[in-house]
């Protein structure tokens, strides 16, 4: 039988490549799949932790290493020159060490004796370490007593007095754990205050070492 020339010859089937496999359902992922998924994240975390560790700062904890040096004699002379108020340099035993200091002010902290108007008071402060390691600070100012005490530790109230070699120091106290403030008025006039974690004997030592000194001469 002769083929009909009008009928088209059957075409060859199209070439078909490999059929891609369907992606594995998430529920069928095994442990190896999970490992390779999170491995880059773990490596990144390790690198970041290492960088942060290299940049960390190790501070000096309490009682670790020597205390910072501070030239109290020079600082107090500078305060006398700049503030123009009576400033005394305590005559402390050699085992007491000054370690900090600074100046500040108290707005409306004093009453002008000539006009009766309130004025800004100035403050000189030096910190000391007693031989025991306790910190005490000495504040010298032209402020009124109550304003100076309030600027050091708010909320204290007068709770007694201490006689130090004939000079009366008013003791201000607060609640439990609050450091007291001893204060007195010395000739000049100058309001002096002591506070810190020291014992009563250490307060007395700093008080006596300050009150027996004459004010430095301003230059």
User: Rounded to whole angstroms, how far apart are CA atoms 78 and 180?
Assistant: 28
User: Rounded to whole angstroms, how far apart are CA atoms 37 and 27?
Assistant: 15
Does pLDDT of 23 surpass 60?
A: no
Average model confidence (pLDDT) for the chain? 82
Nearest to 104 by CA among 68, 142, 144: 142
What pLDDT is attached to residue 113? 81
- % the chain with pLDDT above 70: 69
- Burial class of residue 203 in the structure, from the number of CB atoms within 10 Å of its CB (0-12 exposed, 13-18 middle, 19+ buried): buried
Does pLDDT of 48 surpass 60?
A: no
User: Rounded to whole angstroms, how far apart are CA atoms 133 and 115?
Assistant: 45
What pLDDT is attached to residue 188? 87
- State the architecture of 85-211 in CATH terms: 2-Layer Sandwich (3.30)
User: Rounded to whole angstroms, how far apart are CA atoms 103 and 40?
Assistant: 55
**61-109 tens-digit pLDDT:** 334 456 678 999 999 999 999 999 999 999 999 999 999 999 999 999 9
Task: For residue 32, name the pLDDT band (cuts at 50, 70, 90).
Answer: low
User: Rounded to whole angstroms, how far apart are CA atoms 91 and 110?
Assistant: 28
């Amino acid at each position: 039988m002769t083929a009909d020339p009008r009928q088209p010859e059957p075409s060859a089937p199209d070439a078909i490549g490999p059929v891609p496999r369907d992606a594995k359902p998430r529920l069928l992922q095994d442990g190896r799949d999970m490992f390779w998924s999170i491995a880059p994240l773990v490596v990144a975390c390790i690198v970041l932790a290492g960088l942060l560790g290299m940049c960390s700062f190790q501070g000096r904890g309490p009682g670790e290493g020597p205390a910072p040096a501070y030239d109290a004699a020079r600082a107090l002379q500078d305060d006398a020159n700049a503030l123009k108020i009576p400033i005394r340099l305590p005559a402390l035993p050699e085992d007491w060490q000054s370690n900090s200091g600074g100046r500040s002010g108290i707005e409306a902290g004093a009453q002008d004796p000539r006009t009766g108007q309130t004025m800004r008071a100035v403050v000189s402060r030096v910190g000391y370490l007693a031989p025991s390691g306790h910190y005490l600070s000495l504040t010298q100012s032209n402020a009124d007593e109550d304003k100076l005490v309030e600027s050091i530790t708010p909320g204290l109230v007068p709770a007694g007095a201490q006689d130090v070699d004939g000079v009366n120091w008013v003791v201000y106290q607060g609640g439990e754990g609050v450091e007291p403030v001893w204060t007195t008025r010395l000739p000049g006039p100058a309001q002096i205050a002591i506070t810190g974690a020291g014992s009563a004997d250490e307060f007395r030592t700093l008080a006596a070492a300050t009150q027996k000194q004459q004010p430095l001469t301003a230059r």
